């Protein structure tokens, strides 16, 4: 991936515009998936403490890097702090300990981007953000950020005199565009990283046990031959997945498509050879439905 296909974070580090998501890939299956992803050309892998697959991701990174002849500096790795420990939220000290445990499971000495995964109350956010700032100051995290935070959550950090996050990882796709939050993030120099970019697809999270907030109606909508994304994909001679991912990168959002299918992995990386024209971008702007689908009933940017 060339520098043209990366976005520089406020911390000065560059994040590839297309990364590989690993949510719902179990620990014993994720190493070959990460290996395939690196072989296909991915240079960013996204995991999290709560995905319980960091060991497998680490193994896949080591094997994939060896096979592709890559150095550690060629690959960008994101992981996330799970804010809860049993029944309560973690303290700043526990956040630092969780960070070290993630490093250990991944078998890495440094994480490129470390995020607080979600919000569970004001005290939690302030405490844990101080822990992440500490990880950043030691140099063991090259950049830090949050996920599923809204503007008020971030304002609290800034008003407490703490550093501004480099990233907010949020659900972003044509059905969940969050224009006000994105504009706030851009104003503050915080990079919005998009997750669940493929949510409008009829094939999104259809495997047994892969729950989401998608209704049967939404699923049926995606299968219709006159669905707007099918029409647009046909117009540009690409797949619906490529169209949805292109929408993200064209807005400047690094995206994180997950697939365990090597053909889809390659397809999802191939989003730089076409451009969605301005009129179609305007039409897509009108398709926003508000809250996302990835967290089921919960809207993680407004709770807590």
Ligand X SMILES: NC(=O)c1ccc[n+]([C@@H]2O[C@H](COP(=O)([O-])OP(=O)(O)OC[C@H]3O[C@@H](n4cnc5c(N)ncnc54)[C@H](OP(=O)(O)O)[C@@H]3O)[C@@H](O)[C@H]2O)c1
Indicate which residues carry an active-site annotation: 51
Question: The tokens of 206 are what?
Answer: 């259809």
Q: What share of the chain is helix, strand, coil (3-state, %, to 5)?
A: 45, 15, 40
Whichever of 21 and 56 has its CB closer to ligand X, that residue is 21
* One residue of 261, 273, 277, 288 binding ligand X per CB under 6 A: 261
Specify the residue for token string 């000495």: 109
DSSP strand E in the chain: where? 6-8, 14-16, 20-21, 44-46, 76-81, 84-85, 88-89, 113-116, 144-147, 167-171, 191-195
Which residues on adjacent β-strands are paired with residue 89? 84
Contact region for ligand X (CB under 6 A) — 5-13, 92-100, 157-165, 193-201?
193-201
Does 176 bind ligand X (CB under 6 A)? Our answer is no
Does 168 bind ligand X (CB under 6 A)? Our answer is no
Does 294 bind ligand X (CB under 6 A)? Our answer is yes
Judged by CB under 6 A, the number of residues near ligand X is 29
Q: At its nearest, how many Å lie between ligand X and the CB of residue 69?
A: 25
Contact region for ligand X (CB under 6 A) — 36-44, 184-192, 263-271, 272-280?
263-271
As a whole number of angstroms, the distance between CA 176 and CA 200 comes to: 10
Does 102 bind ligand X (CB under 6 A)? Our answer is no
Whichever of 185 and 241 has its CB closer to ligand X, that residue is 241
Does 35 bind ligand X (CB under 6 A)? Our answer is no
Contact region for ligand X (CB under 6 A) — 92-100, 152-160, 259-267, 276-284?
259-267
Angle at 220 between CA 214 and CA 225, to 5 degrees: 135
Please report, as residue ranges, which positions from 68 to 87 form the binding site for ligand X (by CB under 6 A).
none
As a whole number of angstroms, the distance between CA 179 and CA 139 comes to: 33
Does 267 bind ligand X (CB under 6 A)? Our answer is yes
| H helix and E strand count, the chain | 11, 11
Please report, as residue ranges, which positions from 198 to 217 form the binding site for ligand X (by CB under 6 A).
198-199, 201, 203-205
- The CB-side HSE value for 296 (13 A sphere, CA atoms) comes to 4
Cβ neighbours of residue 1 closer than 8 Å, sequence gap 6 or more? 16, 17, 18, 41, 43
Does 254 bind ligand X (CB under 6 A)? Our answer is no
Q: At its nearest, how many Å lie between ligand X and the CB of residue 131?
A: 18
Please report, as residue ranges, which positions from 45 to 64 form the binding site for ligand X (by CB under 6 A).
46
Does 22 bind ligand X (CB under 6 A)? Our answer is yes
* Chain-centre distance for alpha carbon 87: 26
As a whole number of angstroms, the distance between CA 254 and CA 143 comes to: 15
Does 150 bind ligand X (CB under 6 A)? Our answer is no
Does 195 bind ligand X (CB under 6 A)? Our answer is yes
- The CB-side HSE value for 256 (13 A sphere, CA atoms) comes to 22
Contact region for ligand X (CB under 6 A) — 18-26, 34-42, 223-231, 282-290?
18-26
- Pairing status of strand 88-89 against strand 76-81: unpaired
Contact region for ligand X (CB under 6 A) — 17-25, 66-74, 131-139, 180-188?
17-25
Q: Using CB under 6 A as the criterion, which residues of the chain lie in contact with ligand X when the complex forms?
A: 21-23, 46, 117, 147-148, 169, 195-199, 201, 203-205, 239, 241, 256-261, 264, 267-268, 294
């Amino acid at each position: 991936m060339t520098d043209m296909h990366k976005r520089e974070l406020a911390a000065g580090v560059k994040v590839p515009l297309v990364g590989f998501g690993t949510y719902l890939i179990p620990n014993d299956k994720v190493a070959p998936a990460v290996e395939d992803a690196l072989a296909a050309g991915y240079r960013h892998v996204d995991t999290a403490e709560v995905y319980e697959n960091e060991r497998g991701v680490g193994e896949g990174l080591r094997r994939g890097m060896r096979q592709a002849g890559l150095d550690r500096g060629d690959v960008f790795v994101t992981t996330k702090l799970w804010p809860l420990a049993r029944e309560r939220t973690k303290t700043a000290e526990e956040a630092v300990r969780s960070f070290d445990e993630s490093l250990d499971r991944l078998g890495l000495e440094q994480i490129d981007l470390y995020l607080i995964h979600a919000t569970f109350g004001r005290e939690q956010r302030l405490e844990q953000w101080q822990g992440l700032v500490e990880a950043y100051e030691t140099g063991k995290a090259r950049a830090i950020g949050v996920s599923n935070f809204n503007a008020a959550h971030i304002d609290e950090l800034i008003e407490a005199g703490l550093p501004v996050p480099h990233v907010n990882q949020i659900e972003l796709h044509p059905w969940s565009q969050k224009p006000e939050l994105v504009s706030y993030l851009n104003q503050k120099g915080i990079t919005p990283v998009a997750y669940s970019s493929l949510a409008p697809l009829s094939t999104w999270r259809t495997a047994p046990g892969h729950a989401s907030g998608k209704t049967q109606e939404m699923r049926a909508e995606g299968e219709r031959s006159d669905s707007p994304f099918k029409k647009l994909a046909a117009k540009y001679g690409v797949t619906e997945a490529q169209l949805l991912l292109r929408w993200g990168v064209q807005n400047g959002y690094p995206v994180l498509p997950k697939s365990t299918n090597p053909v889809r992995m390659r397809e999802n990386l191939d989003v730089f050879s076409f451009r969605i024209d301005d009129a179609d971008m305007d039409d897509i702007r009108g398709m926003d439905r508000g809250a996302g689908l990835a967290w089921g009933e919960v809207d993680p940017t407004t709770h807590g």
